[in-house]
Each structure stands twice: as structure tokens, then as C-alpha cells.
Structure 1
């Protein structure tokens, strides 16, 4: 159906004319707006709010930022955004993330930003991931009849009128305005060694042994039940040659050394403790998926391990915004991290830089550090469902791993996802995914112990 069922019924019952606009299937409302080719100012959107009294829909321009203080002044209520899961349950006939801004169709009271009543025409989602609706001004006023009107968005010079920066511009501004952490010297030496096809286990071991803490962590990793090695392991070189292999040791060592570039709190859902737990589980899953899909296991492991470095960079450069995001994630454990980032980072003083999200920021850092292209893409695009392009198989592996981990309450990516579609894109069967999940379950306690040791 081109329209959500209740929306179609509402428009038909009210006799409100509209023009449907078919687009390609999009992964998010942002992508749908972008694919339309129309100015963002033409679009309106719904922001769902809730308090003890009930749910309210705020309707405003797509290129505007909702001002919760203004909403409170208008309503006398302390309304807060719904979580993504709550919104999905409320709008069960809509695709997740595609809520039409006509609350009356669902019996929901509506607040509408001043000025929309005089709009000549507007465009908005029809409740699906591939259709937009255009209403002229008269039809919009009919559709919003009974809504309470007032100032809902932030006003001021340039608000809502600024063009979004390209990733290249964001990268340029980041490097000009902030001192981006260079790759730590040991991490850089490990990275260079992995690029040398003649490198030996002895050379890698000698590099690692420069750092006593890393040496202890690699030894603990090799001795863990993850690998069930029956004999004694007395050196890093034995860990490389007898248990872990060159690539696995190089990649975990690279991750350990690279994290030393960041000063990020340990605690909280996005703190270093949970970062390592999420990263290790994701890396292990990606490695298992790659083995079954016929891709490079070592590279897949590295993609999973490093895909969330953008969060560390945000925490390092913008500690105030990171603390706020960390707290908001704790209060909204089921919400999409993208939506929380938009709430915090999209309204900060660094909005033009941070509004691209932690994934893109991580990709920028990985490119600066000259990491392999699949690792750059996995970091930069893992928040974009349906990504198609260079190294899409590694992006899909990270997305699938995050989807699986979400069900176990591990990680931070609670964006809508389609597990069967991701499995199919990798050329796998659901039974393959189940076997990889079982492998992870059997070693989960060891992954937890390793994560705890790495973050301490």
C-alpha cells in the first residue's frame, strides 16, 4: 500500500485531496527527503512527545529544531520525546521511522508550529519508506483542523536555513578547528607491520612487548576459553604462532593501541566499558559471518572492532555533548542512537559538524589514520541501512552483528533493521546466522572478561 492504512482512511473520510510522490525505497526519513530532490523547507515532520497525561504529536518544518522549552510554555506540560520502540508500537501500520505528521488519523492530539497554517504547500511521508504526499495549503489546514498552534521551534538567525555540510567539509572543519588525535605511535607501527606481507610473528611479538599492559592483555586473550588451547603459553610469540594467528593478534593489538588516543569516561551505556564489550562481540560475530560468507575473516574482525570509534572521538573532542548523549541513552535504552544523536548533537554549538553522526565522524578519523577502506566504510556507513556501494559486504556484516547484539542488550545501535534482508545480502541462510550466534553464546563469559580487562 502506498499510504499507511489509517492515513488513507482519514484523508478519504475527510475528502482531503493529495498528490502521492513515489520514490525509491529509503532507509530513513532523512534519506527519503534527500532522494526526493526537493528543498528540505518544503517538508514537514512529526515529533512524538509524551508525559504522564499522554502522547502528543508536534508538527513542524523538517529543517527546524523542536524547542522543548517552547512546547512546555505552550502546553504547561513537561513533554519528552518517545523512544523509537514506543513510536513503532503506536504507528503499527507505518514503516519504522516514517510517521506522517497528521496525528488526527490515529486519534492523537496535535501541536502545530506557527506559520504552517499559511504554507502554500507541504510534503511529508505517507507512512511508508517509498512514498511522499504533497498537500496544498487548503488541504493542509483541513488535515490539521483542531490542532493547537504556537511557537514550537527554535528561532534565530540562520536556524533552519543552513545547508548541511558535506562529509568532505566536515572532515576539513574537524581538522582545522580541533586537534584530532593522531594514531598512537605503537598502533601506527602495528598497522604498518600488517601491511608488510613479509612480516613475521617474531616482529609482531617484539612490537607488542614494548607495552607491558598490552602484552598482558594479549596473553590473557590467548589463554582464555575462547580458544581452548590445551598447552602452556609463555610468550606473545607463542600466542601468535600456536593460538591466535598473526592477523588476530595484530588486529586486537591495533584496537588496544588506538584506544589510547582517547580520553573517554569508562561508565555509562556509551562509556569505555561498554564500548569494549560491544566492539569485541561485534568483531567476533563479524569474523564468524565472514567465514561463512567467504570474506576476509581478519578484515571483518577489524571492521567490527573499530566501527564505533566515532563515539570515542565525539567523547574526546566534545565531552559535554558526550556526557549528555550518554545520559540520554541511559534514560532511553530502546531509542535509536541516531535519534538521540540528532537530539543532542544536532542542537549543539557544533551542530554543523556533529549532525552527521558518530558513524561518519568515525569514518573520517579512520581515513585520516589511513586504515583499510573496508574499515573506513564499515565505520562511516554502519548507521545507514540499505547502504550499497564500495565494501558493502563489510558494512552489512557490522549491521547484522549489531542487529543480533541488540536482541541481547549489547551495544548502542537500536535503529530499525531487517535481519533476513541483511542475511540474504551476505549470501547466507538464517541457519548460518543461528550457528554464528550459538558460537558467540558459548564464549560470551570470556568475551565479557576480556572486555573488562581491556577497559581497565
Structure 2
């Protein structure tokens, strides 16, 4: 007989499948432990399930949440070329069976099933029950019986292996990836090999202006006005209801003096100029926020978080804001340098929504977007604060000079991801990071809640940049 606690309802479809297979199970209610779902599943090494599909039909895959699914290995196992089913495609299934996710039960709905072999090495397993707050606890013998008709194979990579730091320099890692994954002839210098565009002229002029002690509002306005597209974007930004400017913004001078200020317009213009340097990729992971939406929300989040830090501990506002705008620039570089493999990265991200994108990229290419963005920013002689922020935005333990900028990006993205904005799993912000930034967690969360409350205005700004 099942050992379930009847006060915790398991979806009827899940209960029937367990009873048909005569599985003894216990329901682990995790709704009160306070941990975010993605973090909880990983910490427990719980089994999670996803669906791959092609013209022939669907295949269920079951892996541990502390692993990354290797789609290529799964496809090779059954001799097909499948891609992950999106939540939209699965919604009718969720609605019909009253589920929040795919339960980690093999042979669900009669689908052929692949099970990663690592799950058979665990004495007691926790399985995603298909609801947000419950896990099924089963013994290894029961799970082995459940997967008797499934294909047990090696299709996953432990995340702890991917999190090991590289012993090479970033440039060496990029060189190796380019040599392995592109048909480019390697020249003596990496920048000559890749033939990436030079730093835009507008950006060059803004950087020079930044270090000019005599620069004034007119100088900045003159630079922005020479680029009609950029000028329109800055005026549009200042005119947004998000900034509640009184009256109509008629010029760049107006935008600077009445709304945004010199420092913000300088960094906003620089970020927008760089963002337009590379083309937006035609492919992309399904269900992921568009590039400019992530940029706008992250910049706004960083802006708010800096303000929430006591004045004596605040990082430079301009550098923080610019880092927020450019935080995902490496995504554009990935698409530019590795077009044939960019599609594989996107499919792996879709299949591994529980895994941070930089680990997916490391698995597929051996290099990630943060390394690429930091390298190019350094090549373009961008401010060191931005170079460090982009490189270390997913490494909160980094303690070198300017580390606070990377930590700010880390906090901003984690808090946005918790609310379904920006790409990545829902994971907690360690208390130590808040302490190092002198940032009160409650104030940080209130800041992000206020930003989400302004979603219409921010989406409008992002939509104009995407046009």
C-alpha cells in the first residue's frame, strides 16, 4: 500500500500510475522549507522529467536535477533528432492532468523513456511529483522496478563538473573553442581571426568624453545627436512613463537636464550604441525574455539596488547601470562567432531550464558568454569596472578589484529570475553576497517588486529597442 500522507493530495494521474506499478511511496512536502523550487530540486538531487519530440512523436527523459541533459547523447541513444517540447506545447497535457510540471515517473502516458543511469546509484530517490511543493520519496528497489521497461543510459553531466573553474586564461578558452567549433583559419591574434566589428565611432567618442574633465552637457548632446537612431532612443527613454517626466521631452538636452542626468545619458548612450553593434540572432531559446527586455530590466534593477545601498558603500552608479545594460552582450557574440553551434546551445538551454546558461555553454563549447563579453570589452578599452562586472556576474565569490559590480549583476539577475524575468533557474541569493554589498535583502526585494510593478513602461522601452 502507498505510504502517502492523505493531507497532501497527489495528482490523480500520478497516484494511479504509482498504484498500477505497486510502488510504495511517501510524499515529502517541501512547501514550508522556504527554498526555491529549482534550488530545492538540485540540493536534493531529485529526479526531474522533460519531454523531447520530433515528427515521430514524443520521448520522456528523466535525469537528476543536479545534472545537465546532453541532448546529443539522448538523440544518439535512440537514433533521432529531437528537440525539447515547450511549456506552450505541453500546456494541454498539464491542464488535462492538473500538473505544474512533468512528473519524474517513467513511461508517463505510455511514452518511451530514457533514464539517466546515475539515478540508479541513489539509495533513496526524490521524484518530482508534478506539483510545485511535493516530491515523491521512493526506495531504489521500487525505482528500479519502475524503470524496468525504460532505457537506462548515460545522458547527463553532473553540474559540479561543469562548475569547476578553467585552468586556462579566457583568451585560451576562446581560442580553443574557435579552433574546435568554427571553420575559421586561426591567425596570430584572436581579434583578427574573429573579425568582429570595431568599437562604434559613437561609443569611442563617448568613452573619450567620459575621461574629459571639461566635458559638459552640450558635448554629450552633440555626440548623441549625430546618431539619429540613438538620439531617438534616448529621448524615448526619457519620455517613458517610468521616469514620469513633466511635459514633453523635445531634445537630448531636455532629456539630460530635466530627466536622466549627464551620467545616466552618457552610459545609456554607450550601452545602446554597443548593443546595436552586433545583429540580434534569428534563433533563440523558446520562452526566454528577448535581449533588450533583459537589458532594460537588469539596468533598472541595478539602478534601484545601488540606490538601496547606504551612500557610503555605493558603487559608481554609472558603471553599475552600464554593466546592467550590457550584462548579456556575450549572448550576441555567441551567435555571431558560433552560428552553427548557437542552435545547439539554444536547444540545450530549452531542455535544461534548471541549469544556468553559462554551464550549458561550457558543456557545448567550452567557453561561455561572460568570458566572450569580458574579452571583447577589454579589447575595446571599455572601463575596467564593466570588464570585471561582465566576467564575474555569475561568480559571486570573486573578490578582486571592482568585485561589487559583478555582485550587483548577480543579485539583480537572481531576483529577476525568481520573478520570471531574465533567463535562468530560480535560485536564492546567498546572504553573504547581500552582506558584502551592504544591501538589505528586504530592501532589495522591494526594489525588484517596484520594478515589476512598472512592467508596462519597461516593456514599452524594450519593445522600441527591439524594433
Could you tell me the TM-score, scaled by structure 1's length?
0.64
CA distance in 2, matches of 1:149, 1:328: 20
**Residue ranges of structure 1 left out of the alignment (5+ in a row):** 1-27, 29-44, 91-98, 109-147, 154-162
How far 1:248 sits from its partner (Å)? 0.8
How far 1:320 sits from its partner (Å)? 2.2
How far 1:241 sits from its partner (Å)? 1.3
- TM-superposition CA deviations, 1:420-442 (whole Å, max 9, x none): 33322211212221331243134
Q: 1:72 maps to what in 2?
A: 78
Q: 1:228 maps to what in 2?
A: 244
| 2:217–2:253 contact (8 Å) kept in structure 1 | yes
Q: Are residue 169 (structure 1) and residue 172 (structure 2) matched?
A: yes
**Residue ranges of structure 2 left out of the alignment (5+ in a row):** 1-38, 40-44, 52-58, 88-99, 106-115, 126-150, 157-165, 176-188
| 2:225–2:252 contact (8 Å) kept in structure 1 | yes
Instruction: Describe the SS at the equivalent of 1:301.
Output: helix
How far 1:412 sits from its partner (Å)? 1.6
| 2:47–2:119 contact (8 Å) kept in structure 1 | no
CA distance in 1, matches of 2:420, 2:328: 16
Q: 2:203 maps to what in 1?
A: 187
Q: Are residue 255 (structure 1) and residue 271 (structure 2) matched?
A: yes
- TM-superposition CA deviations, 1:214-249 (whole Å, max 9, x none): 111111111111221213322111111111111111
Q: 1:426 maps to what in 2?
A: 437
| 1:268–1:330 contact (8 Å) kept in structure 2 | no
Q: 1:406 maps to what in 2?
A: 417
Describe how 1:37-186 pairs up with structure 2 within 5 A.
55=62, 67-72=73-78, 103-106=120-123, 165-170=168-173, 174-186=190-202
Q: 1:281 maps to what in 2?
A: 297
Q: Are residue 322 (structure 1) and residue 333 (structure 2) matched?
A: no
Instruction: Describe the SS at the equivalent of 2:290.
Output: helix
- TM-superposition CA deviations, 1:185-224 (whole Å, max 9, x none): 1111112112222211111111111111111111111111
Quick check: 321-330 or 301-310, which moved more? 321-330
CA distance in 2, matches of 1:55, 1:252: 44
CA distance in 1, matches of 2:206, 2:83: 50
CA distance in 2, matches of 1:327, 1:165: 27
Cα gap change, 1:67/1:47 in structure 2, threshold over 3 Å: closer, same or farther?
A: farther
Could you tell me the TM-score, scaled by structure 2's length?
0.63
CA distance in 2, matches of 1:270, 1:192: 39
Q: 2:321 maps to what in 1?
A: 301
CA distance in 2, matches of 1:253, 1:58: 41
Describe how 1:329-340 pairs up with structure 2 within 5 A.
329-330=349-350, 332-340=352-360
Q: 2:446 maps to what in 1?
A: 435
Instruction: Give the number of aligned pairs.
Output: 346
Q: 2:215 maps to what in 1?
A: 199
Q: 1:264 maps to what in 2?
A: 280
Match of 1:341 among 361, 379, 386: 361
CA distance in 1, matches of 2:174, 2:361: 18
Quick check: 299-308 or 429-438, which moved more? 429-438
CA distance in 1, matches of 2:84, 2:391: 29
CA distance in 2, matches of 1:259, 1:365: 13
Alpha carbon RMSD of aligned pairs, Å?
Answer: 4.3
| 2:359–2:368 contact (8 Å) kept in structure 1 | no
How far 1:330 sits from its partner (Å)? 4.2
CA distance in 2, matches of 1:152, 1:271: 24
Cα gap change, 1:312/1:107 in structure 2, threshold over 3 Å: closer, same or farther?
A: same
| 2:396–2:433 contact (8 Å) kept in structure 1 | no
Cα gap change, 1:152/1:184 in structure 2, threshold over 3 Å: closer, same or farther?
A: same
CA distance in 2, matches of 1:377, 1:404: 21
Cα gap change, 1:313/1:207 in structure 2, threshold over 3 Å: closer, same or farther?
A: same
How far 1:100 sits from its partner (Å)? 12
Q: 2:373 maps to what in 1?
A: 362
| 1:286–1:398 contact (8 Å) kept in structure 2 | yes
Cα gap change, 1:54/1:252 in structure 2, threshold over 3 Å: closer, same or farther?
A: closer
Cα gap change, 1:373/1:221 in structure 2, threshold over 3 Å: closer, same or farther?
A: same
| 2:275–2:326 contact (8 Å) kept in structure 1 | no
| 1:285–1:437 contact (8 Å) kept in structure 2 | yes
